Amino acid sequence: MAANSWPEQTKLINTRIPRLDGIAKASGKAKYPSDERPDGMLFGVVLYSLHPHARIKSLDTTVAEKMAGVKAIEVIAGPGKIVRYHGDDIAIVAAETEEQARDAVRAIKVEYEILPHAATELQAMAANAPEVVKGGNVRKGRAQITGKPDDAFAKADGMIEAAYSVPVVTHVCLETHGLTARWDDKNHITAWASTQAVTATANELAESNEIPVSNVTVLTEVMGGGFGSKFGADIWGTSAARLSKKVNGRPVKIFLDRIQEHLAGGNRPSASAKIKLAGTKDGKITAMVAQTHGTGGVARGAQFPLPYVYSIANFSREHSDVFVNGGNARAMRAPGHPEGCIIMESAIDDLAAKLGLDPVEIRKANLAPADFRTKIYLDEIAIGAELIGWKQNFKPRGTQKGIMRRGLGLALHQWGGGGANDKQVSCTISSDSTIELKSATQDIGTGIRTVLAIIAAEVFGLKPTDIKSNIGNSTFPPGQSSGGSTTTPSMSPPCYNACLEARDELFKKIAPSLPGSPSATDLSLADGQLLIKGQPAMSFKDACRKIGMNSISTLGKSSPGLASNGVGGVQFVDVTVDTETGVVKLNKIVAVQDSGLIIDKLTWESQVLGGVIGGLNYGMFEERIVDPTSGRMLNPDMELYQLAGASDIPEIIVHAYEPADQKKRGVIGIGEPPTIGTAAAIGNAVSNAIGVRVTHWPMTPMNVLNALAQEGKA
C-alpha cells in the first residue's frame, strides 16, 4: 500500500549525506557525456553566422567535402534561408578529428545577402526598425489591471517613479550543449547526451528520425549543468544523428565550443521597467503602475511576474516582448522570477527610502494576508535579519559619509517546486542482497541519484552506498525531466513507495522460512540486520539469500502526501562600496530558505549555495554585450563574459527553515528558489550604502559610478 506520509523518525532522511558520485566527480573519474568516445567516433563542428541578419545566397561545400578526414556535411540553412543572429547555425561538418572538421568548416563558401539588423532593444524599438519577425519587433502582452490605481495614487502619502533594467545574461554551463549519436543498426539510435531530460531527448531523436521512441536510448550518467537550457535534442543533436546515418552509423559527436555556447546556447531575457509605486506613511503599498519590456532575442520569453511576492490592491501593468537579432532565450533557473524580483524589490526599497521606513518593516507590511507563505516569510525575515545583524548594522539610505560605505539589503522570493505525480521508480532486490533502483530521470546537479539511495537505504536499514541508484537512461521507467525544481519532489514519492513495497514483498517471501515462522508483520530492518519482533535475527545479506533464484521487483508510483508545492525565501546581503572606484565588495550573504521536508541536507545546502553564487553573478558581473553596429556579441568567452572568481564570493550563510509543520508538507524542489533574490538584494544593499539607486544591473563599477554621477554624488 502506497504511503501518504514520510516516517516521523528517520536515520538518514533529513541528515547530511555526501553524494554517491561526489568523489568520482571531484577526482575526474566521472565520465560526462562530452567525455564519451565510442569506437569510430567522428567530430562534428558547426559553421555559424557571423552576421546578425542575412539571407544565404549560396552555399558551396564542394571543397570542404574533399578535405582530409571529412566524412559528411549537414546543411542546416541552405540557399534562400535567413540567419537571424550572430551564432545562428548554417552547416555542420563531421570529420575524423576536430581539427579536420574545423578546417573544413572554414572551407565552406557562403555568400550572404546582408540584411539590416536590430541587435539591441533600442534598435528594435526604433521607428522604422528592420523587422526581426513578421508582425513587428514589439509584441504586446495581455494587460493586467486590478483595482483603481489612479484613485489610489491620488490618496497616497508618498510615491516613487523609477526605471530599472537588467541585461540579457547567457547560459554558461560548464559542459556545453551537445550529444554524441550513433545508429546501432538501421532502426536504433544510442545517444550520450548532456541533457536535463533523457526522455525528451529520446522523443525528439525518435520523432526527427521517424523511428519508434523505444528504439532510442539516451544516456546521461552525469552531466555538467543545464539550468533550464538543455531540454530536448536540439538542432545539434538531431544533426549528429543525421550525420551518423550518413556515415553508416559511426558515432558523431557535436558539442558546442565556448563561443557558440554563449551565442546559441540560450540566455535569460533582459527586463526593463518604468514603475510608479505609492503607499501610506505606515508603509502599506496602495498602488502600482508598471510598463515593462524585455527581449528573448528571436523568441518570446521575456515576460516576468509583477507585482512580485507582495499584495497590491490597485495596479496596472503593460508588458511587451521585444524581438532582436540575438540568440534566443531559453529557460534559465527560475524563468522570469529573478527579473521580477529585481524590479519589485528595487521599487519597494525605494518607496521605503522615500517614506523614511525600514526596508524590513515595509516588506512585512505588504505580505498577502491570505497567502500561506506569509507566516513563513515573517519567520524567515526574522531569522535572516538576526543572521545579517540588521538591527546593529542597518543605517538608513543616504546617511553614510566617507569613501568606503557599507550597506545592507534584502529581497524576498517565491517559487512552486511541486512534483509531477506520474513518474515511476523500480526497485529490485536480488538474492545476493543487491538493491537496484531505476528511473529515467537524470542528475542535473541536485543530487537525485543520492536522494533516491537515501530513501531506499532508510527503508532497508542500509547505507546509501549499499544501493545501486541507476538513473540517466531513457529506457528505464518514466522519470522526471529536471526542470522547474521538480525532480526531487517528483521522484522521491515513487522511490519511497517502490522500496516499501519491495521490502514488504521480501518480508512476505522469507517469513515462512525464518525460525519460529513469524508473520511478515513481525519483521523489520535496521542497521543491516533483519529483526524479528525487534530482535536482530540475521544479516540483511543472509535474509536476501532466502529469496531464491527470482529477484523481487516492484514499480513505485507517486501518492498524495509525500510532496508539496510552493516556497518562499529571503536573502540578506552586506556590501561595502568604494564610492571613488565604484567597486562593490560582497561581505556576507544570508539565505533563509524553506522547501518542506529536506531529504539530504548536504545536497540541499549545496543547491542553495550554488543558487546564491549564480544569483551574485547575475547581480555583480554578467551581461551579454552586443555591438550595435556589427550586431555581434562582443564577449562570448570566459575571459570577457564576467563571472565571480573565488575571491569574489563572500561568506554565505545558508539557513534551512524547517519547523515541524514544514517537514509535514513533504518534499518540495529547491533548484530554483535560492537564485532568485540574490541580485535584487545586492542592488538594494548597494543603494543603501551609497545613498542612490543604481538602476541598471549588474553592480559593476561603471553602473555604480554612473548612478553616483547622475545624482551629483560622484
Q: Under rule CB under 8 A, which residues in 411-440 are in contact with other proteins?
A: 416, 418, 420-422
Which C-beta is closer to other proteins: that of 587 or that of 635?
A: 635
* Smaller CB separation from other proteins, 14 or 170: 170
Residue 274 vs 284, nearer CB to other proteins = 274
Query: One symbol per residue from 12 to 51: x for binding other proteins (CB under 8 A), - otherwise; what is it?
Result: ----------------------------------------
383 class by beta-carbon count within 10 Å (0-12 exposed, 13-18 middle, 19+ buried): middle
Least distance CB 125 / other proteins (angstroms): 5
Residue 638 CA neighbour count, 13 Å, CB half:
10
Site pattern 91..130 for other proteins (x: CB under 8 A): -----------------------------xxx--xx----
Q: How many CB atoms lie within 10 A of CB 536?
A: 12
Which grid coordinates belong to 560? 498524495
Shortest Å distance, C-beta 91 to other proteins: 14
Of 182, 250, 276, 330, the one binding other proteins (CB under 8 A) is: 330
* Residue list 217-246, contact with other proteins (CB under 8 A): 228, 231-235, 238
Alpha-carbon gap, residue 266 to 196, rounded angstroms: 14
Task: Determine the longest span between alpha carbons in the chain, in angstroms.
Answer: 90
304 binds other proteins (CB under 8 A): yes
The least distance separating other proteins from the CB of residue 631, rounded to whole angstroms, comes to 13
Our CB check for other proteins shows the closer of 385 and 491 to be 491
Our finding on whether 346 is near other proteins (CB under 8 A) is no
- In DSSP notation, 172-187 reads --SSPSEEEEEEEETT
C-alpha to C-alpha distance for 714 and 706, rounded to whole angstroms: 8
Task: Tell me the per-residue interface mask from 660 to 699 with other proteins, x by CB under 8 A, - otherwise.
Answer: -----------------------------------xx---
Cα–Cα distance for residue pair 380/374, rounded to 1 Å: 10
- Residue that the C-alpha cell 532568485 belongs to: 676
Question: Closer CB to other proteins, residue 374 or residue 430?
Answer: 374
Q: Kindly write out the interface string for residues 558-587 of this chain, putting x where it contacts other proteins by CB under 8 A and - elsewhere.
A: -------xx---------------------
Q: Is 333 in the site for other proteins (CB under 8 A)?
A: no
Residues 471 and 440: beta-carbon distance below 8 Å:
yes
Instruction: Give the CA dihedral 232, 235, 240, 241, nearest 10 degrees.
Output: 60
Positive or negative: CA dihedral 97, 98, 101, 106? negative
Q: Binding of other proteins at residue 331 (CB under 8 A)?
A: yes
Does position 303 bind other proteins by CB under 8 A? yes
Residues linked to residue 292 through DSSP beta bridges, in sequence order: 273, 319
**Subset of residues 128 to 167 that bind other proteins, contact rule: CB under 8 A:** 133-134, 138, 140-145, 163, 165, 167
Nearest Cα to 351, choosing from 271, 284, 274, 273? 284
Which one among 71, 177, 182, 300 touches other proteins, defined by CB under 8 A? 300
Residue 204 sits in the site that holds other proteins (CB under 8 A)? yes
Distance (Å, rounded) from C-alpha 339 to C-alpha 272?
Answer: 9
What minimum distance in Å lies between the beta carbon of 169 and other proteins?
A: 10
Give me the least distance between CB of 351 and other proteins, in Å please.
Answer: 20
Closest CB to other proteins among residues 589, 705? 705
Which of these, 573, 614, 585, 589, lies nearest to 704 by C-alpha position? 585
Residues 265-294 that bind other proteins (CB under 8 A): 269-270, 272, 274, 291-293
Counting contacts by CB under 8 A, is residue 82 touching other proteins?
Answer: yes
Which set of grid coordinates corresponds to residue 480?
522526471
| Interatomic CA distance for residues 415 and 337, integer angstroms | 8
For other proteins (CB under 8 A), the number of binding residues is 82
Q: Write the DSSP assignment of 183-213 as a string of letters.
A: EEETTEEEEEE--S-HHHHHHHHHHHHTS-G
User: Nearer Cβ to other proteins, position 422 or 527?
Assistant: 422
